[in-house]
């Protein structure tokens, strides 16, 4: 049984930028989404960049004083 809310909600994939239903996606990083569609073999969620970004996110958690804004100069 598919949760109706899950099925009708749509997100934009951070990798291919396509808008898809949440049912065909995977939650990645903090509040982003990437395709995980076994029917169309679309696996943006396996993209190497997500892994790199996740590593950066984990590293940032170790910083108490320095924020990402300090690093990228925003």
Size of the site for Zn ion (CB under 5 A): 5
Q: What contacts 37, CB < 8 A, 6 or more positions away?
A: 20, 24, 25, 43
- Stretches 1-9, 10-18, 53-61, 62-70: which one binds Zn ion (CB under 5 A)? 10-18
Per-residue contact flags (x/-) with Zn ion for residues 18 to 47, judged by CB under 5 A: -----------------x--------x---
22 burial via Cβ count (<10 Å: 0-12, 13-18, 19+): middle
* Sole binder of Zn ion in the list 11, 13, 33, 36 (CB under 5 A): 13
CB of 26 to Zn ion, least distance (A): 10
Binding site for Zn ion (CB under 5 A): 13, 15-16, 35, 44
């Amino acid at each position: 049984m598919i949760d109706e809310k899950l099925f009708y909600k749509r997100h934009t994939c951070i990798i291919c930028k396509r808008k898809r239903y949440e049912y065909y996606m995977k939650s990645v990083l903090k509040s982003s989404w990437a395709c995980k569609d076994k029917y169309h073999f679309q696996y943006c969620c396996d993209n190497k960049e997500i892994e790199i970004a996740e590593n950066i996110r984990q590293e940032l958690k170790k910083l108490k004083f320095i924020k990402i804004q300090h690093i990228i100069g925003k």
